Amino acid sequence: MKKLIFGVFALSAFTAHAGMKSAANYKFAGEIAYADFCKAVVTDDLSLLKRSIRSKVGEVAHSSKDVLRKLVAVDGMKCNNTDLLEFSKQREAKDVQAYLSEVL
């Protein structure tokens, strides 16, 4: 009986740990208003990146193109202390990387 209870408990703990690990894959710190840019790279979601850029028009710059230039600049947007383009290379976000490369 003890072995059965221990087995069920061990299996439950493993399942719970696996679920927590997948839920905690992404943690944003810093300016949450810009978290979608990093999320777009992590998920290689070009449409999310473009929506995020459009949402910053008027706040960061006067046009989408200028917002993108400022974000990709060396002293611009950072994810994990890495500029956006380098972060997209590290994460192998091919679609986002290609789009960001067009700006440079």
Q: What is the DSSP string of 82-99?
A: EEHHHHHHHTT-HHHHHH
| Amino acid symbol at 76 | G
% of the chain beyond a pLDDT of 90: 54
Q: What is the tens place of the pLDDT at every residue in 24-59?
A: 466 656 678 889 999 999 999 999 999 999 999 999
Is 94 within 8 Å of 40 (Cβ atoms)? Answer: no
Per-residue confidence (pLDDT) for residue 26, from 0 to 100? 60
The more confidently predicted of residues 75 and 17 is 75
pLDDT-derived band at 14, boundaries 50, 70, 90:
very low
Comparing CA positions, the residue from 19, 15, 18, 37 lying closest to residue 28 is: 37
